[in-house]
Amino acid sequence: MRRQFIAGNWKMNTNRAAAVALAEGIAKAAASVANVDLAVCPPCCYLEAVGKALAGSKVGLGAQNMYHEKEGAFTGELSAGMLVDMGCKYVILGHSERRHILGETDAAINKKVHAALAAGLTPIVCVGELLAEREAGKTLGVIQCQFAGSLAGLASERMAKVVIAYEPVWAIGTGKVATPQQAEEVHLALRKILAEHYDASVAEGVVIQYGGSVKPENAAELLGQPNIDGALVGGASLKVDQFLGIIAGAKENR
Ligand code: 13P
C-alpha cells in the first residue's frame, strides 16, 4: 500500500527566523502523525537552519531545485551531493515555475532526475498542463510528453524511487483547485503510463502527489481519490495550522 506523502514547497518565502519557527512548529506537531510521510522544502539558503530545527523529527528536508553536474564552474548552482551534504532527502525538480518562468526543459529536468537518484535523493518530479492546454483538450498529451521527456531512461528500480507531482499550472497559487475528479483522471492516466513504460508493480508503487491550491478544506476529498497519494503544498504550507489541516486530511484516508 502506498503511503500518503505531504510536502511543503515554501518557494521564495520566509526569512531565517520565520523558516526556523515554521520548521519547529511542523516538527513538533508531526510527532503525533503516523502513516503519513512529511517533508518541507525551504529556500536553499535556509536548508541548514531548517535541517537543524527538524533534527530527530519525522519531517524530511527537501530542496526546490539543483543542477545535474557534480561540481565545477557553474556559478550559482548547487549539486545533488551538496544537497545530501546539507541533510536533504528530497529535491523538487521540474516545478512549473521553473519550467515556465525560468525556461527549464524536459531534457534539463531529465538530467537532474538522473543526478538526484544517483546521489541518493528522492526527486519529486512535477508535471502539469497550462490552462490553454486543458481548454484545448490537450491535458493528457502534455502529461504524457512531460513524463516521457523528464523521466526518460530510468531503470525500474530507479523509477520506483521517484515521486511524481501532478500540478496543473492553472491551479497553482490561484485558489482554483482541480476537482477531485479532474485530478484523479490525470493521476490514473499517469499510473497507466507507468504500467506501459514499466510494469504493474512499478505503477502501483509510485507515489503521485497532487499540487495546486491544496488547503485544509479540500485536502480530504482530494486525498481520498484512489490514485492521489499526497500533496505538494505551496501557500498553505507556510502556516503551521494549515499544513497540519492538510496532513489531517491525509490521515482520514489511509
Ligand atoms: P499552491 O499550493 O500555493 O497553489 O502552490 C502549489 C505548488 O506549486 C506546490 O509546488
Write down the pLDDT at residue 251. 75
- Rounded to whole angstroms, the Cα distance separating 88 from 57 reads 14
Q: Is the pLDDT of residue 1 over 90?
A: no
Tell me what the mean pLDDT of segment 170-179 comes to. 92
Q: Between 3.30.470.10, 1.10.600.10, 3.20.20.70, 3.90.550.10, what CATH number should domain 65-177+189-205 receive?
A: 3.20.20.70
Structure confidence at residue 253 as a pLDDT band (50, 70, 90): low
Q: Whose CA is nearest to atom 1 of ligand 1?
A: 234
Ligand 1 binding pocket (C-beta < 6 A) is 9, 95, 167, 172-173, 211-214, 232-236
Distance between CA 131 and CA 129 in Å, rounded? 7
The residue ranges of every structural domain in the chain are 1-62, 65-177+189-205
Residue 7: strand pairing partners? 39, 232
Question: What is the pTM for the complete model shown?
Answer: 0.98
Tell me which residue has its CA closest to atom 7 in ligand 1: 234
For residue 193, what pLDDT band results from cuts at 50, 70 and 90?
very high
Return the ligand 1 atom nearest residue 165 CA.
10
How far does the centroid of ligand 1 lie from the alpha carbon of residue 192, in Å?
A: 25
What is the whole-number distance in angstroms between the Cα of residue 174 and the centre of ligand 1? 9
